[in-house]
Structure formats: C-alpha cells, structure tokens
Structure 1
C-alpha cells in the first residue's frame, strides 16, 4: 500500500498547494481520501483522474470536499470520452438526518458512509469510526496484508480514539495547533501535545502530522509531539510518499 499526500493544510491551501487529500494505491487500484481545495491539481501530478477507482470523504467541511464537484465534472467528461467505463463510487460521511450535499451524476455515484461501517475493496478493508468535530466526521482505518494505516480526519482529542488507532503502522493525524493552544477542542481539533499522547497511548509505529496551521513555525509541531511520543514523526507535505 502506497500513500501520497496531496494536501497537508487545514482551512485553505497555501499558494500552489492544497488542503486535505491523500492518494491510496494498492493492487493496481487507487482511492482518493478527501478532496479539498487544490487536491485535483495535485492529484494529476501522480495519476490521471479517470484511473481513480473510488473516493472517500471524511466530512462535508470545504477544506475536505471543495474540489469534489469539479471531480464529478471530470468523471462526466471522461465517461463521454470513453476513458471511464463505470461510475466511480464516492462515499461521503454525513449525519443520517441531513441531506447529502452532492448528488450522483453521469460518471459518479454518491453513497453514504457511517461510523462503524466497513468497506472491502480487494484485499483492502476500510473501517470507519466517529470523530469529535463540529460536522459529522469519520476517521478511517485501512488494513492491507497485515499492515494498518489510520487517518484521524478532523477531531479533537478523546480517549476513545486510542482503540481505533491502536497498533497502527502509520497514523496520519490532524495537528491543527501548537501545544500551547490548550483549548484546541473548542475548535474541534487537536494540538501537538494531544497528537503525541494519542500516538503514544495507541502504540503506533509512525505518526504523520497533517491539517497544518497557517501561523507559527510548522517545524515546531514535530518537536512538540516528540516531547510525548518517542516514535518516528514526519510533518506532511504535498508529494510525501508513505509505503506500507
């Protein structure tokens, strides 16, 4: 399994970059996880859009879904050009009581996903768990040939996340604030100290810091995580490749 970071920023992209987006490749298949602002432009540096097999969206906030409508247009065009023969399934996490923000179009099919559900694609199995955020949001656990990758999506710290992240080879964790932001939870996010605690308590092999802030010295985040967690720490950037 190979993961390419397409966008590491929270809220909005830095110039020429992107917010949340991750390309997951396995067994000649490819999956896009989140589709934030700027993600489609980044993705095409690595993969033609018509080669994507599925899309997973953690929640409906714009920095995770902004490019999705454009992706649906690409699917329509690729279908008309006979570059795509089957509609691509787009799985969106949303509260059961809310209407989905997107509809199926030619070339793409919109489906709901919920916490506690599982999705199997070949030898890859994805399980979804509820996170602690303003919008209905799911984290994702990817298991493939004995390896485990966990993506927190957006969340504040909560002890119940530990069991979902337990023993992950790689934890991709939102790190929206520096350690001195003690009340990060009121924004629905984690600070660096909380990410370190989650990684330590879950016993993960490596943590990748993402959903980065637009202020301060981003390099400081890793050193703050390291005060709590003694495993490998990587600060995400567009183009970062993780192989499991």
Structure 2
C-alpha cells in the first residue's frame, strides 16, 4: 500500500498547501480520499483524472470534498469520458458538492454509494472499516486495510476513545491535528483534535508511524510534532509526500 499526500491544510488552502487529500494505491488501484480544496491540481501533478478508480470521503465539509466537482467535470466533460467514478461517502455528505451543477450535466460521471459510519465494505483491493467520530457534521473514521498493511485516517474529529480502537496496530495513523496543545474555543473542543492528543492516541493504538494533518494555516509543523511526542517515526502531511506501508 502506498500513500501520496496531495494536501493537509485545515480549513482553507494556502499558497503552498492544498487542503486534505490523499491517494492510496495497491495492486494498481488508486483510491482518492477526501478531495478537498485545491487538491485536483496536485493530483494532476502525479496522474490523470481517469487514473482514479474510486473516491472515499470522510465527511461533507468542503475542505474535504470541494475538488470532487472539478474532478467530475474533467472526467464527465472530456471528449472520451472514462467510466462512471464510484463515490463512497456518508449519507448526504456529498449533496452540496454534487448540486453545484445541474443533475444531468454530470449524472453519468459518477456512481454514488452512501454508507453509515459503522459500516464495513470493500473498495477494489481495500477493506474499509468505518466508525462515527465526533465532529460538527457526521464524520467517518476510516480503517483501510489490505492483507499486508493498515492505514487509519481520522477524517476530522474531536477527542474519542474510539480513535485508538480504530487505529489499533495500524502501520500508519493519519490523524487530524488542527491545533497544537489545546483547542482555543470551548465550543469547538469536542469536535477538533490537537497534535498532543493525536500523539497520545497513536501510542495507545500501538501504531507504527504517525502522520499529522489538517493543521490550522500558519501552525508551526515543528511545534506540532513536538507536542505529539510520539516515540516512533512522525511526520507532517505535506504535498507530494509519499509513504510506503
């Protein structure tokens, strides 16, 4: 299994960093996870739009799914459209982004498969386990596995003891870390995570490696890694970072 980071910026993209977006590959199958703002140009730096075999979205916030629209446009409006793209997302999560164009314009470009967090299903060579994790909208934590490797991705989440359970023994724990030590707004604290907690959960899960993502724009990456205090290999999600599991 190979993970390529397209972006890992929280909330909005910056000049140097797209929002959440990741490509996971195994046996020639490419799964695009969370095509957030500005991820399509990064995807095109690595491959073509018709090389994506399926899309998996953790939740419906635009910094995790907005670039699905230009991806579907590029596929559906091409001279020779590729087959309909399977989209996997929690119920209703893609309603807004799919409504950006009239239904008939891109209807043939995708096949929507909605799930409820807690479901387990297959996407190509991947087995996907999901769990509802706390956020402002329904968010699915994702455990993506092959016989050889396990990737756990939190999506966006607040503190939850379900996180280390879902990440148990993962080869790579990809965790949101919006803030470094604490969430500044008490009202947001149940729905966002810190680097400090991400590191703690990774240790509890016995994860082999930690990859912090969704840092608030302007956050010092070194400070986030220091706060995580993870004893194993730890990195910050940065464009074009490639990790082999």
TM-score by length of 1: 0.91
| RMSD of equivalent CA atoms | 1.9
Question: The residue matched to 2:45 in structure 1 has which SS?
Answer: coil
User: Offset of 1:77 from its aligned partner?
Assistant: 1.9
Q: Deviations over 1:54-80 (max 9, x none)?
A: 0011111110111111112112123xx
Contact 2:17 2:238 in 1 (8 A): no
Query: Does structure 1 residue 192 correspond to structure 2 residue 195?
Result: yes
1:22-171 alignment runs, 5 A limit = 22-78=22-78, 81-84=79-82, 86-94=83-91, 100-101=95-96, 102=98, 105-171=107-173
User: Offset of 1:123 from its aligned partner?
Assistant: 3.1
Question: The residue matched to 1:208 in structure 2 has which SS?
Answer: strand
User: Offset of 1:23 from its aligned partner?
Assistant: 0.6
- Choose between structure 1 and 2 for higher RCO, CA contacts under 8 A separated by at least 6 residues: 2
Distance between the aligned counterparts of 2:75 and 2:162, measured in 1?
A: 38
Q: Deviations over 1:13-39 (max 9, x none)?
A: 111431010011111111100011101
Unaligned runs of 5+ in 1: none
Question: The residue matched to 1:161 in structure 2 has which SS?
Answer: helix
Distance between the aligned counterparts of 2:231 and 2:70, measured in 1?
A: 41
Aligned residue among 166, 178, 201 for 2:204: 201
Question: The residue matched to 1:213 in structure 2 has which SS?
Answer: coil
Distance between the aligned counterparts of 1:135 and 1:26, measured in 2?
A: 30
Q: 1:242 matched to which residue of 2?
A: 243
Question: The residue matched to 2:34 in structure 1 has which SS?
Answer: strand
Following TM superposition, where does structure 1 have runs of at least 4 consecutive aligned residues deviating by more than 6 angstroms?
none
What is the number of residues matched between the two proteins?
237
Q: 1:211 matched to which residue of 2?
A: 214
TM-score by length of 2: 0.90
Q: 1:231 matched to which residue of 2?
A: 232
Question: The residue matched to 1:35 in structure 2 has which SS?
Answer: coil
